Structure 1
Amino acid sequence: MKIDIGISDNDRKAIAEGLSAVLADTFALYIKTHGFHWNVTGPMFNTLHTMFMQQYTELWTALDEIAERIRALGYPAPASFTQFAKLTSVTEETAVPQANDMIRQLVAGHETVARTARGIFPLAEEANDQPTADLLTQRLQIHEKTAWMLRSLLE
């Protein structure tokens, strides 16, 4: 059935593609955060283990919200490691870094997702797509606050 929500097909496609990159970045950051939760060691173990769990839980919830917005726009959400790897800007970590390096990488990851999300705003605003703009605003608030909190641990 044709979608007629007041956003052109071209705009819906462009926004869905942008949101797919946000979804991929979020998934990559989720994996990294969860892995760091499992593997963190050192004097800040308990604090970081708990903090990382809160962060990966929030990211997990966000994945569904982002994917559902892509679907509401009429496009399939990427849902494979291969698709995510092609779309993400978040760097993968295959080793187990020290705790402070984990924190630095997560700051960089949250800032990456924020940049990706911010890049979609012009599309959403031009298309008068308030639900996507609202979703992006919420995601930006969370990623910027999380980056700040993590960055504060390094000072």
Structure 2
Amino acid sequence: MAQTNQIGIVTEQAQQLSDRLNILLANLQVFYINARGFHWNITGEKFFELHAKFEELYNDLLIKVDEVAERILTLGYTPTHSFTEYVQRSSIQEAINVSEGKQAVQLIVEGFQSLLLTERDILHLAGEANDEGTSALMSDYIRQQEKMIWMYGSYLK
């Protein structure tokens, strides 16, 4: 019989999930700091609208950062907690000096698309591990972020 962790997940599967969740954590952290930068630096006629939307976005991402880190801890592992590692592991690139609305929104759509790829991978692994906690978290994120892609994408049309 395979060894399990404190919540009954096979240790090897919990390690794989933790590794993938740390990649998600890196992506969320880089996406968060990008959204903060967009909020601070946005200019132009849509300033007020986008300034508020970017604040909504980074506040939501901050909650997700905490949820993912706590899920890693629940699985029995350590969340990555250095920006050096975040930048190295993230598939979302740092956005520097972006102040134009459409460019920022395009980067947000691409950020959500990147998150979805990672989250779907985690959802699949969580299903194989019978890890309902991680599955539920990823399902919630996927549903919300698919809608965000549609909404932000509509702005670009």
Shift of 1:8: 1.0
What amino acid maps onto 1:12 in structure 2? A
Shift of 1:125: 0.5
1:6 matched residue in structure 2: 8
The percent identity for this pair of structures is 36
1:42 matched residue in structure 2: 44
What amino acid maps onto 1:20 in structure 2? N
What amino acid maps onto 1:11 in structure 2? Q
Give 5+ residue unaligned stretches, structure 1: none
TM-score between the two structures when normalised by the length of structure 2:
0.94
Identify if the C-alpha distance between structure 1 residues 46 and 97 changes in structure 2 by more than 3 Å, giving closer, same or farther: closer
1:134 matched residue in structure 2: 136
How far apart, in 2, do the equivalents of 1:117 and 1:47 lie? 29
**1:57 pairs with 2:59:** yes
1:103 matched residue in structure 2: 105
2:73 matched residue in structure 1: 71
- Shifted more, 135-144 versus 43-52: the winner is 135-144
How far apart, in 1, do the equivalents of 2:98 and 2:123 lie? 35
Superposed CA RMSD: 1.2
- State the aligned residue count: 154
What amino acid maps onto 1:40 in structure 2? I
Which of the residues 93, 96, 117 maps onto 2:95? 93
What amino acid maps onto 1:128 in structure 2? N
Shift of 1:97: 4.3
How far apart, in 1, do the equivalents of 2:111 and 2:69 lie? 19
Summarize deviations over 1:14-59 as a string: whole Å, max 9, x none.
Answer: 0000111111111111010110000111111100000110010000
Contact map agreement 2:43 2:99 (CA 8 A) in 1: no
Give 5+ residue unaligned stretches, structure 2: none
Shift of 1:122: 1.8
Helix, strand or coil for the counterpart of 1:120?
A: helix
2:146 matched residue in structure 1: 144
Structure 1 runs, 4 residues or longer, greater than 3 Å off: none
Contact map agreement 2:72 2:79 (CA 8 A) in 1: yes
